[in-house]
Amino acid sequence: MKTPKYHLTATLSALSIFALVAALSSNAFSQAASSSSSSTSSSSSSSTSSSSGGVNALYWSVTAPICPEFSDATVIGENADGDAQVDPDNVIDAMVVYQSFSLLGGPSIGSNTVIEYANGSGLTLPMALVDDELQLIREIDFPPTDGWDDWRELSYDSYRAGQLNLVALSPNGGPNLGSITSTIIINTNDPSGWGGGYGNGNCPTTKPAPVAEAPAISCSLGDSSVWNSGYVLSNIVVTNTGDTAITQWDAKLRFNTAPQLAHAWNANATEIDNTIDLQPLSWNQRIEPGQSASFGLMGYHNNNFVEPTCTATTIAFEE
């Protein structure tokens, strides 16, 4: 089974480590740091503390820079920390590779991830966040900004340490990209609390190489029924147009306003901003070549319904 279309050769070079390790004792936080020189910009880590509602919290953050030499992208500048900012190639599967890092601790009372980006395309550009084995972590939609040099921060709750990559899911490629910063929030009221993180400055020693091509997949809306305050999309169809079986897929409906989802059938549906993300059920996640899976949904609108666009992605398949 494969998850998109690249494989990273994981032969690691000598580590360049900026390490921060912490332990709590009587609610006092002690930290030690060590570093060694490197020929590349290394991931950086930091901690801050705050108190709210009687809960003392420590925020541990690690920033992972891009590895430009192993990314399908052109360097266009640097951020304030001197880390590369890149323009991914305008093709599906263009991959931006990040340095690996560690981040852990507890008891955790929250976490988040922040990605630097600029998107002057006027379009929402989807990318897949994958790990070093190309396993899907999550899909991320990058909304438009006010130009290719208008840098914003896209954030979401949760984080994933290790070696991360962003892969374009659109023929338009992805937005301009900068560093990824991951943070865990530790409850320092707990005497057992601890936290730490470090970036090792490590990039893959070879450029990601293509592997088996994922089967193509298409999505069509079918008929829609619209009335004053509601709508039904009763026959959305995802079709395997490739030559091998798809074993996991994902579909996204992108609306011009919040879709106000009420109900869905034959798929698990999640509303995120102006998008409905659709995941298959156990019985329709496998689609043989030339076959389809169909599902539907209903929702509400404020007399301004416009049919959404539908895109589908092959998550895993058989060779």
Predicted local distance difference test score (pLDDT) of residue 194? 73
Residue 213 has pLDDT above 60, yes or no: yes
More confident residue, 292 or 158: 292
In the prediction, which pLDDT does 208 show? 58
**What is the pLDDT at residue 132?**
85
Can you give the pLDDT at residue 1?
A: 35
- Asked whether residue 300 carries a pLDDT value surpassing 90, the answer given is yes
Q: What is the pLDDT of residues 88-101, one digit of tens each?
A: 999 888 999 999 99
Residue with more model confidence, 139 or 260? 260
**Structure tokens that stand for 136 in this block:** 């899907």
- Quickly state the pLDDT bin for 212 (edges 50, 70, 90): low
Of 112, 93, 113, 100, which is closest to residue 40 (Cα–Cα)?
100
Per-residue confidence band for 50, with pLDDT thresholds at 50, 70 and 90: low
Higher pLDDT, 247 or 134: 247
Kindly write down the DSSP assignment for every residue of 188-256, as one continuous string.
Answer: TTSTT-EEEEEE-----SS--EE-SPPPPEEEE---EEE-SSEEEEEEEEEEE-SSS-EEEEEEEEE-S
Structure tokens at 265: 């059938």
Is residue 32 over pLDDT 80? no
**Whole-angstrom distance between the N-terminal and C-terminal Cα of the chain?**
7
Average pLDDT estimate for 245-260: 94
pLDDT at position 37 over 60: no
Most confident stretch, 15-24, 87-96, 103-112, 225-234: 225-234
Q: Is residue 40 very low, low, confident or very high in pLDDT (cuts 50, 70, 90)?
A: very low
Cα 271 from Cα 128, distance rounded (Å): 18
pTM score over 0.75: no
* Range scoring the smallest mean pLDDT among 127-136, 199-208, 211-220, 224-233: 199-208
Res. 290: pLDDT tops 80: yes
Query: CB count, 10 Å around CB of 122?
Result: 7
pLDDT value of position 2 = 32
Looking at residue 26, what is its pLDDT?
27
User: For position 18, what pLDDT does the model report?
Assistant: 25
